Structure 1
Amino acid sequence: MIDVYLLSGFLGSGKTSLLVNLVDQVKESGRQPAVLMNEFGELNIDSQIVEDAGEVPLKELLNGCICCTGAESTEAQLQGLLADYPEIDVLFIETTGAAHPVEALDAVYSPLFAEKLDVKGIVTVVDAKRWIDRDKLSPRIQALFLEQVRHAHFMVLNKTDLLTDNQLAFVTMQVTQFNSYAPLVQTMNAKVDFSYVEKMVNVAAPKQSVTTGSGLPLVSKVLSFDAPINQEHFEDWVRTLPDSVYRMKGYIQLEGSRYSHLFQYAYGMVNWIPEYMQIPSKLVIIGEQLTDIEYSPKN
């Protein structure tokens, strides 16, 4: 399996600097890194920075956010990386500064290759200076900024050299109170030891149900189905799920149907899209506290 790290953080926080640093360290360790970069515009200037750092498999997702309009393109680009570079050991996905971490993870967790990717977690770069000035942001943007911090599995408090000692102590206290679970490291130019990142976010996943980040703010789980599913019974089960289930998507073979259906669930809404091929039935669930969530087919 390929270890996957999703790099999150607000615009200008230092995600690309972190990315280049981590890529260099992975290469020095003898492993093969790869990168998927997301940018709103038609040109991703940051990708040239990564390419200049050395030969690294790289795919770009332009003209859309990984968390919404670019979700389908994300799946296609990831499939391309996996097919073209089977030697990949570590994959870094840099999101746009406007990406919501939950929706970004949703785009990454494709049932087509869920069992090939071991998503270690979200590494969020927190701009220490902007944290102090966050009240100047619009309410909507400020909420996004805080959500990126809240859902982090590991936090890089960057640009600490721009703060006084008292300011740095105050910001560190506030950020760790806002997300008390994720480890935090203070940095300048987003320089952090990758081995430390690995150690702090690496959680062993049970082989029978592929999960990541057990006990962390955001987790995932993959359910597999060996036989066709009764649609009515399945939707009844969906309605019993707790609010801690944020997203579900997968390909499911329904009783009485020749081909698979793409199933999607978000904010309590269910959507079925018929496919014209048979795809192994797998369902990816994203949320919190998913350990006890299982589906029992209708007898």
Structure 2
Amino acid sequence: MVLRTTSVIAFLMCLSLPAGCTVDVDEGRPDDRARRLVWVNALAVANPDYRVIHEKIRRPERRDSRSIDIQLEARWPIPGVTIPTRGRRDAVLTGTRPGGVEAPRLTSWRLTELLQGLGSGDGQKDVKEAASQLEALKDAEVRVLVVIEFKKPLPERDVRIIWPYQIDVGLFSPGRPMPISWDQSGYCDSRGFDACKLGIKDSLAKEFSEWVAMLTSADRTALDSFGLDLAELEESAQQGLYHGMIINAYPERVIPLTKLPEILSVKIADVALAGQ
């Protein structure tokens, strides 16, 4: 399989210590844990077309303190938290000197191409085609994975008016070639801060800003390994504006979006039988 540098959202439960570890052990090695959280979050931020299987982040059996074993899968129209295994694969993040990371190269697929194409194409034509496809699917027991692009960047409060349901991934920049993103992790403590605390919970923009605020100039080399720039991340986090979003939903819920003036394009990346 040919792979592309990227992806993943992630959950780091412990440090790689020869004697094993727990969530609390890394207090003795704060730099190691912080560094690994940067790796996993950066992989996810840079690759919205894939998702990390959070419960599968683990210490490698070889006990190499510079590496983290992870599992990834292509993002697809999964219904809620009932996640069947589909295309999951093992991967490893390995630290390199000085300060870099060797990241997996992930295969490009339709969602990858749609995300890389944000800002190009005929938006009106895309919306009409998507509306026709969604109408044809609305009576079927399916869910659709859809990329929504806004005509202009919107604050989260406006996005929530347009789409009051769950947002799988917030897109906080144009293509570049992949948009800077932040996705639902499903855990309060999977990103290195309390995502369930008041003021952050249920806000992808605020979660993203919280993570960026934890970064320092010492992280520049690691971020660069994932194609990310610290200054660009800081600017995107400060603005907190959605350029688009990835959602998975029943077709009838998505159809109204094709009629809104705020929407530039609607593109269907995948379709799955509901409950599959």
Name the TM-score class by shorter chain.
under 0.3
Pick 1 or 2: higher relative contact order, CA cutoff 8 A, min separation 6.
2
TM-score by length of 2: 0.25
